[in-house]
Amino acid sequence: MKNQLLFIILIMLVFTSCKNSNQKTVEKQQPNFIVFIADDAAWNDCAPYGNSVIKTPNINKLAEDGVVFDNAFLTTSSCSPSRCSILTGRYPHSTGAPELHMPLPANQVLFAGELQKAGYYTVVAGKYHIGPPRPEFDSIYGGSPSGCENWVRAIQNRPKDKPFFLWLAAHDPHRKYFPNTIPEPHKPADVIVPPFLPDADSTRKDIAMYYDEISRLDSYLGKVMQVVKDQGVDENTLVIYMTDNGRPFPRCKTRMYDSGIKTPFIVRWPAKLKKGRANALISSIDIAPTFCELAGANILETFQGVSFVPILEDYSAKTRDYIVGEHNWHDFQAHERAMRNHKYLYIRNAFPEFNASPPADAVASLTYQEMIKMYKAGELNDKQLDCFVQPRFAEELYDVVNDPLQFNNLAQNPENKEALNEMRKLLDNWIVEFEDKVPENPTPDKFDRWTGEKL
344 in the same domain as 243 = no
Mean pLDDT of 390-400: 98
Residue 18 scores a pLDDT above 60: no
pLDDT for residue 27: 41
Q: Domain ends where: 321, 349, 384?
A: 321
Q: Domain ends where: 321, 352, 375?
A: 321
Distance from C-alpha of 394 to C-alpha of 65, rounded to nearest angstrom: 43
- Residue 384, domain extent: 326-433
- Give per-residue pLDDT as tens, 279-302: 999 999 999 999 999 999 999 999
342 in the same domain as 312 = no
pLDDT for residue 28: 65
CB 166 within 8 A of CB 123: yes
Mean pLDDT of 390-405: 98
306 in the same domain as 199 = yes
272 in the same domain as 371 = no
Q: Which of 169, 131, 176 is nearest to 150 (CA)?
A: 169
- Give per-residue pLDDT as tens, 334-392: 999 999 999 999 999 999 999 999 999 999 999 999 999 999 999 999 999 999 999 99
- Give per-residue pLDDT as tens, 90-129: 999 999 999 999 999 999 999 999 999 999 999 999 999 9
CB 197 within 8 A of CB 367: yes
pLDDT for residue 129: 97
CB 324 within 8 A of CB 427: yes
pLDDT for residue 299: 97
204 in the same domain as 69 = yes
Encode burial over 23-39: b for 16+ CB neighbours within 10 A, e otherwise: eeeeeeebbbbbbbbbb
pLDDT for residue 4: 56
| DSSP output for 250-269 | TTTTT-SSHHHHB---EEE-
Radius of gyration of the chain (CA): 23
Asked if residue 361 belongs to a domain, the reply is yes
Supply the mean pLDDT for the chain.
94
234 in the same domain as 163 = yes
What number of other Cβ atoms are within 10 A of residue 414's Cβ?
Answer: 6
Q: Which of 288, 233, 263, 375 is nearest to 113 (CA)?
A: 288
Kind plus residue range of the DSSP H or E element containing 396? strand 395-399
Q: Domain ends where: 304, 321, 338?
A: 321
| pLDDT band (50, 70, 90) for residue 222 | very high
Domain of residue 102, CATH code: 3.40.720.10
343 in the same domain as 316 = no
115 in the same domain as 259 = yes
CB 89 within 8 A of CB 289: yes
pLDDT for residue 1: 46
155 in the same domain as 123 = yes
Asked if residue 180 belongs to a domain, the reply is yes
355 in the same domain as 387 = yes
Asked if residue 377 belongs to a domain, the reply is yes
Residues of the chain with pLDDT > 90: what percent? Answer: 93
Asked if residue 451 belongs to a domain, the reply is no
CB 308 within 8 A of CB 122: no
134 in the same domain as 232 = yes
DSSP state of 172: T
342 compared with 4, residue with greater pLDDT: 342
Asked if residue 178 belongs to a domain, the reply is yes
106 in the same domain as 147 = yes
Q: Considering its fold, how many domains does the chain have in total? A: 2
- Give per-residue pLDDT as tens, 148-188: 999 999 999 999 999 999 999 999 999 999 999 999 999 99
